[in-house]
A and B are shown apart, each in its own frame.
Chain A
Amino acid sequence: MPKTIHLKVNGKQHTVDTEPGTMLLYVLRDQLGLHGPKFGCGLSECGACTIHLDGAAVRSCVLPVTAAEGRAITTLEGLGSVDKPGPLQQAFIDEQAVQCGYCINGMIMTAQAFLDSHPNPSRDDIKQALNGNLCRCGTHMRIVRAIERAAKNWRKAS
């Protein structure tokens, strides 16, 4: 039976009626209209659905919606907008680090959580942090450069 569930997404409270076993990804996309997280595999293998749960990068395709209740959910939309991109998003724009862009949500969400705890990463650290995220177009070189650029900008700013 559907259940009423309270979710805090990108700082805003939402109430949704959904099957408790539904994975969070479908609630975000279909009920809240947040299209940043993408369906890629449903198996926690590719990372396209990555979101932040209390600041940690998690795969929303295998996270039952009930497990996200009472926790801070952040999606790609929570990091910035077209008019005001976040610093990491801006670095992806500056490096033109997109081909089809379907995996990019996972790249940015994973990299953001990583940079939040590793402000001064080496290139190898970045590659390791993203090693569980798949890109099929082969945009890897640019994605790494974008993350390096963002890290460098933050170091300059701080």
Chain B
Amino acid sequence: MNARPESASATSDISGFGASRRQFLKTSGGLVLGFSLLGPLAALAQQPATRIPASPSGGAQTFPAVDPAKLDAWLAIHPDNTATLFTGKVEQGNGSPNALAQIAAEELDFPFDKLFVVMGTTTDTVDQGPTYGSMAVRYAGPQIRHAAAAGRQVLLSMASKRLHVPVEQLTVRDGVVSVTGDTKRSITYGELVDGKRLDVTIGATGKTFGMKVAPDAKLKDPSQYTIVGTSVPRKDIPGKVTGAFTYVHDVKVPNMLHGRVVRPYGIESNLLSVDESGLKDIPGFVAVVRQRNFLGVVAKTEWGAIKAAEKLGSKLVRKGPTDGQAKWSDWQGLPAMDDLWETLRHASGKDITVAKRGDVDAALRKGAKRFKATFRTPFETHGSIGPELAIADVGKGYAKFWAGTQMPHQARRDMAELLDLPVENVEVNWVEASGQYGRNGLEPVMADAAIMSRAVGRPVRVQWMRWDSHGWDPKEPPIVQDLEGALDKDGNVTAWHHHMWVPTFSDTRLLASELIGKPVGQVHLGDAAIKYEYEFDNADVVAHGEGRVGVITAWMRAPGQLETTFAMESFIDELAAAAHQDPLAFRLKYLKEPRALAVLNAAAKQYGWKSRPSFQGRQPGSKATGRGLAWVNRDGSRVATIADVVVDRDTGGIWVKRVVVAHDCGLVISPDGMRNQIEGNVIQSMSRTLHEEITFNRAHVTSRDWASYPILTFNEIPDNIEMVFVNNSAKYPSNGGGEPSTCPTAAVISNAVYDAVGIRLRQTPFRPQRVKAALARA
């Protein structure tokens, strides 16, 4: 029931309903999977619909694209009066299917619990752009809203003909159309559509994020909303807590083999030789796949693949380039860890001016007091709990993938380029993966699987080992930032200088494509990743955008902006403290934007903020408490965060005890889903701030597991995370909520530590030894 109708009658008494103009989905014939997602409706109802289609082998196959101008690109109504929403957006653990389905159900006047969602699969969905940048609800929401509103109009005109009354005399409730005032004369959407496809043109212009769908659709007045703005339970959770849910990690396709990669010793090492002796003794071993510097193994069982890869050198700790039966050249081209910051300052790139006002140099010279600080943030890994995985079936004239990528449509184009196939011959079946928080390795692993499948002529499932994921996923880049400021004698800011050196967070080169010498993907320069809102008379804010520095880096939740907010919001706190002023009042003096003021004031109210300068002197005992404040404008969503922290002078430990978040992303579609996201952002960014740092030697990443790359654990969670929604109203269109509340955290903690013990932490992570060292220096 979750796919589009398998067949449709070409005859219809409804104008505009004709034979389908595109291939219907075939979910039978060749579909032999280890599970069924088309099973009992009860089970289906618990899980967003995910189609696992047939994989017939042999011969060229083409997979036509979906036409966004057609209603059936977005919607199918089934005879039992359930419905399916199709969207090119995907779920990454954020609950976006709920929000998007709420928007659709609202406009359709359809029961939310009977509306299922098919996401991502390239043959089934419109390319609405990748699911990143907190943009799913913001951009896909209006597209889906318009498509659903157009769908309601189509269904009403069908009902008008069937019930022989004008549309104006019809009422819809829960997918049942009735004659107003005569509920006995009614018909369900399912009966109206009668198993046919909604082959009606609703119109669409533009592409991906900018696409306008059904521009003429009559939208519901938001004052009539009954589904949008309510907390509805997520449909995937019962399956996820009982083991019934199918992740991409659980997919099995017929004839499938298991692959593992063996990465180079050094990032740019060359593969010199592979000694295959003993591999044939490993039960289930099938083949070594070697293409230039790409090396992998394929076996009939996962365990066989793991053991074979281990023999060749895939393991947690590699002692050298010849540790294992594969021998690599001894590449040592990474900077020393201590030199990373200087390396960043001298990498080539392009300057991006964020703000240029007045004469900063003169103002700095004239200032009564002058301040300087440098902020440093390291490489970080996405660290998905489930390592990256993809299944590829590459045959003659076709390639099919089962993948959890955040960008199935772009990945389809990339795989076509990698495999020298027309895009039409490539299909990406999207199936949810372990949470990903940006561009982790879910796209690169597709290339690994493609190369191995092409080599052995069978579908291959490749899962990275933990060390492949920590070692080789695209990383959040390190950033170094210099700030300078001046105060006049009255404590006013007269100069603000903020320069940052930012390696790319948009390096989409697929690792395996580089290893085989056929690079796919682009290395863009680093971006500014800052929204500078303070209105100082003299300001100079510049980002030096750079290319790849050492390792592949790509976007991770609020890319760059956790770091730039750390610097900006810590430094203004330093100036406020130097001026002996309350840090909230100090910020408010230099802000005019009403939504910025609103979140700061809302957070202060919820927290119970009392005006005073930070750091009131040494507190008795080993433990000291402090409060910290910071805010951000992340692409139009405003967030202010206040936290209380406890610093243990003896151990250097920091505990974030209470967090208050005031969050303005406009109209909140799904309040509990939004709260879940904010909690996740706060905890994850606390983890990044307190613990996380990728370490490396001159050859490769050395923090390749959870012991060497610790993250936040349960003992460290706050007592409370309190949340306030600001401007949660249809007057303010829904903006992004997947990332913004990540941004203030490092600054909040740093500022609270200062308030507690009078030291400034300007480099993450704030691990105990670093805190103790700073305390000792103070």
Interface residues of A (CB under 8 A from B): 1-2, 18-19, 21-23, 26, 29-30, 33-43, 45-46, 48, 75-77, 79-83, 85, 89, 92-93, 96, 98-105, 108, 126-128, 130-144
User: In whole angstroms, what is the CA distance A46 to B683 when docked?
Assistant: 17
- CB pair B679–A102 under 8 Å, yes or no, is no
- CB pair B679–A141 under 8 Å, yes or no, is yes
- CB pair A45–B706 under 8 Å, yes or no, is yes
Q: Hey, which chain A residues are within 8 Å of B712, CB to CB?
A: 138, 140
User: Does B316 belong to the interface (CB within 8 Å)?
Assistant: yes
Q: Hey, which chain B residues are within 8 Å of A83, CB to CB?
A: 42-43
- CB pair B283–A100 under 8 Å, yes or no, is no
Given that A45-B706, A137-B680, A139-B680 are contacting pairs, would A100 and B93 also be in contact in the complex, using a CB cutoff of 8 Å? yes
Which of B93, B301, B385, B436 contacts A40, CB < 8 Å?
B385
Q: From B680, which residue of chain A is reached at the shortest CB distance?
A: A138
Q: Hey, which chain B residues are within 8 Å of A85, CB to CB?
A: 238, 241-242
- CB pair A82–B303 under 8 Å, yes or no, is no
B704-739, CB under 8 A of A: which get 1 and which 0? 011100011111011001000000000000000000
- CB pair A35–B243 under 8 Å, yes or no, is yes
- CB pair A98–B283 under 8 Å, yes or no, is no
- CB pair B243–A101 under 8 Å, yes or no, is no
Given contacts A19-B283, A100-B385, 13 further A-B contacts (CB under 8 A): A19-B304, A30-B302, A33-B34, A34-B243, A38-B434, A45-B705, A77-B244, A98-B237, A99-B94, A100-B433, A128-B715, A138-B684, A143-B714
- CB pair A22–B242 under 8 Å, yes or no, is no
Given that A39-B463, A102-B434 are contacting pairs, would A135 and B243 also be in contact in the complex, using a CB cutoff of 8 Å? no
User: In whole angstroms, what is the CA distance A143 to B243 when docked?
Assistant: 17
Given that A127-B715, A141-B683 are contacting pairs, would A26 and B241 also be in contact in the complex, using a CB cutoff of 8 Å? no
- CB pair A36–B242 under 8 Å, yes or no, is yes
**Residue from A1, A48, A102, A126 with most neighbouring chain B CB atoms (10 Å):** A102
User: In whole angstroms, what is the CA distance A30 to B706 when docked?
Assistant: 25
**Residue from A26, A35, A93, A100 with most neighbouring chain B CB atoms (10 Å):** A100
User: Does B295 belong to the interface (CB within 8 Å)?
Assistant: no
Q: Hey, which chain A residues are within 8 Å of B234, CB to CB?
A: 96, 98
A50: min CB distance to chain B, Å: 12
Which of A41, A48, A131 contacts B715, CB < 8 Å?
A131
User: In whole angstroms, what is the CA distance A76 to B245 when docked?
Assistant: 12
- CB pair A127–B714 under 8 Å, yes or no, is yes
Given that A41-B706, A100-B92 are contacting pairs, would A77 and B680 also be in contact in the complex, using a CB cutoff of 8 Å? no
Kindly identify, within residues 5 to 46 of chain B, every residue whose CB is under 8 Å from any CB belonging to chain A. 34-35, 42-43, 46
Kindly identify, within residues 452 to 487 of chain B, every residue whose CB is under 8 Å from any CB belonging to chain A. 463, 465-466
Given that A82-B46, A100-B92 are contacting pairs, would A141 and B385 also be in contact in the complex, using a CB cutoff of 8 Å? no
Q: Hey, which chain B residues are within 8 Å of A133, CB to CB?
A: 714
Kindly identify, within residues 220 to 247 of chain B, every residue whose CB is under 8 Å from any CB belonging to chain A. 233-234, 236-247
Q: Hey, which chain A residues are within 8 Å of B672, CB to CB?
A: 96
- CB pair B237–A139 under 8 Å, yes or no, is no
A109: min CB distance to chain B, Å: 10
Given that A93-B238, A134-B713 are contacting pairs, would A19 and B303 also be in contact in the complex, using a CB cutoff of 8 Å? yes
Which of B95, B244, B706 contacts A46, CB < 8 Å?
B706
Q: Hey, which chain A residues are within 8 Å of B707, CB to CB?
A: 43, 45
User: In whole angstroms, what is the CA distance A40 to B388 when docked?
Assistant: 10
User: In whole angstroms, what is the CA distance A126 to B713 when docked?
Assistant: 12
Interface residues of B (CB under 8 A from A): 34-35, 42-43, 46, 92-95, 233-234, 236-247, 249-250, 283, 301-304, 306, 316, 383-387, 432-437, 463, 465-466, 672, 676-677, 679-684, 687, 705-707, 711-715, 717-718, 721
Q: Hey, which chain B residues are within 8 Å of A79, CB to CB?
A: 242
Q: Hey, which chain A residues are within 8 Å of B237, CB to CB?
A: 92-93, 96, 98, 101
Q: Hey, which chain A residues are within 8 Å of B94, CB to CB?
A: 99
- CB pair B714–A99 under 8 Å, yes or no, is no
**Residue from A21, A30, A105 with most neighbouring chain B CB atoms (10 Å):** A30
Q: From A27, which residue of chain B is reached at the shortest CB distance?
A: B303
Q: From B435, which residue of chain A is reached at the shortest CB distance?
A: A100
Q: From A90, which residue of chain B is reached at the shortest CB distance?
A: B241
Which of A34, A89, A102, A135 contacts B247, CB < 8 Å?
A102
Which of A42, A80, A98, A126 contacts B236, CB < 8 Å?
A98
- CB pair A99–B435 under 8 Å, yes or no, is yes
Q: Hey, which chain A residues are within 8 Å of B436, CB to CB?
A: 100
- CB pair B241–A142 under 8 Å, yes or no, is no
- CB pair A43–B385 under 8 Å, yes or no, is no
User: In whole angstroms, what is the CA distance A99 to B92 when docked?
Assistant: 8
Q: Hey, which chain B residues are within 8 Å of A137, CB to CB?
A: 93, 435, 680, 684
User: In whole angstroms, what is the CA distance A22 to B283 when docked?
Assistant: 11
Q: Hey, which chain A residues are within 8 Å of B93, CB to CB?
A: 99-101, 137
User: In whole angstroms, what is the CA distance A131 to B34 when docked?
Assistant: 34
Q: Hey, which chain B residues are within 8 Å of A82, CB to CB?
A: 42-43, 46, 238-239, 242, 244
Q: From B681, which residue of chain A is reached at the shortest CB distance?
A: A138
Which of A43, A131, A139 contacts B713, CB < 8 Å?
A131
Q: Hey, which chain B residues are within 8 Å of A130, CB to CB?
A: 714
- CB pair B386–A142 under 8 Å, yes or no, is no
- CB pair B713–A108 under 8 Å, yes or no, is no
Listed A/B pairs (27) with beta-carbon separation below 8 Å? A1-B283, A22-B303, A29-B250, A35-B246, A35-B247, A38-B249, A38-B434, A40-B386, A40-B387, A43-B466, A43-B705, A48-B385, A80-B242, A82-B43, A83-B43, A85-B238, A85-B242, A101-B236, A102-B386, A127-B715, A131-B713, A132-B713, A135-B385, A136-B434, A136-B435, A139-B679, A141-B721
Given that A101-B93, A141-B679, A141-B717 are contacting pairs, would A77 and B242 also be in contact in the complex, using a CB cutoff of 8 Å? yes
Q: From B250, which residue of chain A is reached at the shortest CB distance?
A: A35
Given that A43-B706, A144-B714 are contacting pairs, would A102 and B302 also be in contact in the complex, using a CB cutoff of 8 Å? no
User: In whole angstroms, what is the CA distance A128 to B243 when docked?
Assistant: 25
Q: From A77, which residue of chain B is reached at the shortest CB distance?
A: B243
Q: Hey, which chain A residues are within 8 Å of B680, CB to CB?
A: 99, 137-139
A29: min CB distance to chain B, Å: 8
User: In whole angstroms, what is the CA distance A43 to B707 when docked?
Assistant: 10
Q: Hey, which chain B residues are within 8 Å of A38, CB to CB?
A: 247, 249, 385-386, 434
Q: From B742, which residue of chain A is reached at the shortest CB distance?
A: A138
- CB pair A136–B233 under 8 Å, yes or no, is no
Lowest 3 CB-CB distances: which A-B pairs, in order? A100-B93, A36-B243, A138-B683
- CB pair B683–A140 under 8 Å, yes or no, is yes
B14: min CB distance to chain A, Å: 37
Which of A40, A132, A142 contacts B679, CB < 8 Å?
A142
Q: Hey, which chain B residues are within 8 Å of A76, CB to CB?
A: 241-243
User: In whole angstroms, what is the CA distance A56 to B313 when docked?
Assistant: 34
User: In whole angstroms, what is the CA distance A34 to B415 when docked?
Assistant: 31
Which of B385, B676, B718 contacts A142, CB < 8 Å?
B676
User: In whole angstroms, what is the CA distance A31 to B767 when docked?
Assistant: 43
Q: Hey, which chain B residues are within 8 Å of A103, CB to CB?
A: 385
User: In whole angstroms, what is the CA distance A103 to B383 when docked?
Assistant: 12
Q: Hey, which chain B residues are within 8 Å of A128, CB to CB?
A: 714-715
User: In whole angstroms, what is the CA distance A143 to B237 when docked?
Assistant: 13
Q: From A83, which residue of chain B is reached at the shortest CB distance?
A: B42
Q: From A79, which residue of chain B is reached at the shortest CB distance?
A: B242
Q: Hey, which chain A residues are within 8 Å of B301, CB to CB?
A: 19, 22, 26, 30
User: In whole angstroms, what is the CA distance A30 to B35 when docked?
Assistant: 12
- CB pair A43–B316 under 8 Å, yes or no, is yes
B302: min CB distance to chain A, Å: 5
User: In whole angstroms, what is the CA distance A29 to B386 when docked?
Assistant: 14
- CB pair B711–A134 under 8 Å, yes or no, is yes
User: In whole angstroms, what is the CA distance A132 to B35 when docked?
Assistant: 32
User: In whole angstroms, what is the CA distance A142 to B301 when docked?
Assistant: 37
